[in-house]
Amino acid sequence: MQNLPRPLEIHVNIAITFSSTQEMNSVMNALIPDNVNFPSGLSMSIFPSKAGSRKKRLQSGSRSRTVVIKLTSTGQVSTLVNTLDELLEHASVASKVIH
Amino acid sequence: MIRVNGKQKQNGTRDKDNKGAALLCLGIESTAHTFGCSVVEMYQDSERKGKVLSDIRGIYKPPEGSGIHPREASRHHAEVCSSVLAQSLKEAGRRMDDIDIIGYSAGPGLGPCLRVGAVVARTVSGFYEKPLVPVNHALGHIELGTMLTGASDPLVLLVSGGHTMILAFAQHRWRVFGETLDITIGQLLDQFGRAMGFASPCGGRIENLAGQSDGRYTQLPYVVKGNDVSFSGLLTAAIRAASSGEKLVDVCYSLQETSFAMLAETVERALSFTSKKEMMIVGGVAANKRLASMLDIACTRQDAKLYVCPIGFAGDNGAQIAWTALLDYAATKKQIDVEKSSVHQSWRLDVVDVGWR
C-alpha cells in the first residue's frame, strides 16, 4: 500500500500589544465571536499574554496589554492565509476605532 | 464618502439632560457596499418620535461591469470605518460618552462586510461600556421608513439588491405575503446593467434610459407564481433582446414595465387580502419613480395610501440600524453580550420577534 503524504502542519503565533489593558480586552472580545466553528484542519485560540512571571506581575501590579493568537493548520494553506488576513485586518480596525 | 444629512445639532447639549427622556444610539451598517454610521435620537416621552442627527456613508464602488466582491467591499469598509464613525459623531455634535446604545447590522448580508461592522460595534461597545443591540437589516429599512413617512400599519414592499418581499405585520412578526423565487429586483436591474457595461448600482441609469424610450414595448417573460415573482428568465430575455439589436432605451423601458407590473400585481393582491389601508415602499429601488407611480395606481384601486421612503434614506444607511436598535432597546431593554454577538448572513426577517409593535 502506498503511503499518503502527511499533511503540512503549520503553527502561527501572533502577539499584538495595545496601549492599555482596556483596549486589549475590547479588541480581543471583538475578535472572538467571528472566530469560532472553523473548518476541519484549522483551529485558533486567543488569550491575553502573561506579562512576565506571576511574582513580577504581583510585585509591579501590571496587567497584560498583549493579546496572543495561536493558529494551527493541517489543511489548506490558503484557508490559513485568508483567516490570518481577516484577523489582522479586524484587529487593526478595532484599534483604529478606539483611537 | 458622502454626507447625507445637514448639521442639525452642534452645541453638544443633550436633550437627555434637558428633557430627561432622550436616548441616543450610534447605528453601524455594513451588510453590503455601504459602511454607514449614524447617530439617532429617540424621545421616550412621546410615541416613537425620532430624529436623525447624522448619517455618514462610505460606499464601495466596484469597477464598471463588475458586481460587488465581498472581500474587496470589506477591505473598503475596514479602510473607511474609523473616519466614517468620527464624522458621524462630529456631525451629530456628540462624543462617544454621550451615546447610550450601539446598534449594528447583524444580518442578512455578505459575511466579510458584516464582520467589519460587527467588529467596530463590539469594540466601541466594550471599550465605552455601552449596551450592544443586534439589528436585522431588512427590519431597519421598514422601521426607519415608518418613522420618516408617518405610516403606522402598512403593507410593505421591500425592494433592494438584497430583498424583494411583500410584508405585513401580524402577531409580533413581519409576515411574508410574497417574495422573489430567485434573484431580487435590485439584482435584476444590476445584472442587466452590468451586462450592458454600466457601473453598479445600475437602477438609476436604467430608469433614465427607460424615460427616453417612446414607449415601444418588447415582449418579455412575466412570471408571477401564486403571490411570488421570478426575475431570472426576465433577466436572460432582456439581455438577449439588447444583444439582438433592440434599442437599449426600449429594452430598459420594457424591463421596468414588466418587472414593476409583476410587483404591482402582487402588492395589489396582498392589499386586497390583508385589507391594509397603507402601503409603504422601502429599500434602494424605492427611489424609482416609475415603480412608485405604478404602485400608486394599485393603491388607489384598493383605497390605500402610498408612502414612499424619502430618497435620501431609501438605500442602506446607519440610521435604519440606529432607529431600530432604539425601538428594540426602549421596548425590551434587550442587549447582547459582546462575546455572543455573531453575525448571521441569512437572517430572515420573518423569524425576528418584534417587541415594540
Give pLDDT, residue B19.
45
Q: Which of B78, B82, B339 sits opposite A29 (nearest CB)?
A: B339
C-alpha cell at position B93: 455634535
Span A37-59, average pLDDT: 77
Determine the distance in angstroms separating the CA of A14 from the nearest CA of chain B, rounded to an integer.
Answer: 19
Give pLDDT, residue A38.
86
Determine the distance in angstroms separating the CA of B77 from the nearest CA of chain A, rounded to an integer.
Answer: 9
Q: How many other CB atoms sit within 10 Å of the CB of residue B129?
A: 9
Q: Which residues pair with B51 in a beta bridge?
A: B41
Give pLDDT, residue A59.
58
**ipTM for this prediction:** 0.87
The number of residues in chain A equals 99
Span A59-82, average pLDDT: 85
Look at the alpha carbons of B274, B277, B283, B285 in this order and tell me if their dihedral is positive or negative: positive
Q: Of A17-31, A34-48, A57-71, B282-296, which gets the smallest average pLDDT?
A: A57-71
pTM over 0.95? The answer is no
Give pLDDT, residue B2.
45
C-alpha cell at position A94: 478595532
Structural contact between residues B263 and B229, judged by C-beta atoms closer than 8 angstroms: yes
Q: Which of A18, A19, A29, A38 to mutate to test the interface with B (most CBs of B within 10 A)?
A: A29
Domains of chain B, start order: 22-143+315-351 (3.30.420.40), 151-312 (3.30.420.40)
Q: Which residues, other chains included, contact A21 with Cβ-Cβ below 8 Å and sequence gap of 6+?
A: A63, A64, A65
Q: Are strands B155-159 and B132-136 parallel, antiparallel or unpaired?
A: unpaired
Give pLDDT, residue B12.
40
Residues in chain B with pLDDT values less than 70: 1-21, 45-48
Which residue carries 410615541 as its cell? B47
Cβ distance B124 to A97 less than 8 Å, yes or no, reads yes
B positions 125-164 inside 8 Å of A (CB): 126-127
Q: Is A97 on the interface with B (CB under 8 A)?
A: yes
CA atoms within 13 Å, Cβ hemisphere of A23? 16
Give pLDDT, residue B144.
96
